[in-house]
Amino acid sequence: MSENQAIFNNTAINLSWNAVTNADLYSIQISLYADFSEILVQQNDLVSPSHSFADEGLNAAKRYWRWKYSTDSGSTWSAWSEVGSYWLDTDLTVDYTPLTGGWAFVSCADATDQYTLSVAPRHLVVERSINRIKERNRAGDLLSEYLTTKAIISLDFPEDGYMGHEQFREIIRFNTEVKTFLLVSNTDNGTDHVTRVWKVQFTDDPEIGMFTAGREDLLTGTLELEEV
């Protein structure tokens, strides 16, 4: 999932990922739901590791996507890849692509208001499953259950990954002025670059301290954010 946009301001979507040696087919799924219980887009006959399509789903919402590959023309398939995500909002005036290995804050109301963290954090993402809706079909004999996730995200800036005051000022500004924003990342899992996005707020006011006595220019601490 290299160099993919995390935020799209139009419905023309292109997603790509790293090629797999000897793969002759790829399959991709896109869904509004983390459990892929309903599929927005599915394509099983891709001969290259990319897919372009028109996304006609819900506006101002997150999509989840994943891919797999075959080396025997579709007789057998690999396991699904790590799940990536993107945000579609056609009311925005710009889109956004994160830097490789980068993390960024982007305003939901104005995507031109964005800040790329100058120091990438250590991170922990906990995906909590939540029952979104249960419904029966018209005959009443089939119960469908849809799940969504609500991520809790910790961004850690330890002593060997401290930040400066400029970054801390932007963190404070997004907490106090922007309040709700899109957290974007592009991380390397050893196989591919995975682009992900969350609509978040800080769980508490950020608390960052000096690196050590007399070094007030170097700041460390952990930020806690929650998907909303």
**pLDDT the model gives residue 1:** 45
- pLDDT of 50 reads 97
Cβ neighbours of 211 (radius 10 Å):
16
Distances (CA, A) of 183 to 78, 95, 102, 166: 30, 14, 11, 18
**60: domain range?**
7-227
pLDDT, residue 71, reads: 98
Is 81 a domain residue?
Answer: yes
**Domain count along the chain:** 1
Q: What is the pLDDT along the chain (228 residues), one digit of tens a residue?
A: 457 999 999 999 999 999 999 999 999 999 998 889 899 999 999 999 999 999 999 999 999 999 999 999 999 999 999 999 999 999 999 999 999 999 999 999 999 999 999 988 999 999 887 765 566 666 666 665 655 678 999 999 988 888 998 999 999 999 999 999 999 999 999 899 999 999 999 999 998 888 767 777 889 999 999 999
Three-point CA angle 82, 145, 228, nearest 5° = 60
Place of tokens 């001969």: 47
Decide if 54 is inside a domain: yes
Residue 2 resides in a domain: no
Q: Report the alpha-carbon distance of residue 13 to residue 181 in Å, rounded.
A: 22
How high is the pLDDT of residue 37? 86
Q: Taking a C-beta distance cutoff of 8 angstroms, is the pair 185, 98 a contact?
A: yes
162 falls within a domain: yes
Q: What is the 3-state secondary structure (H, E, C) of 119-168?
A: CCCEEEEEEEEEEEEEEECCCCCCEEEEEEEEEEEEEEECCCCCECHHHH
Q: How far apart are CA 199 and CA 183, in angstroms?
A: 6
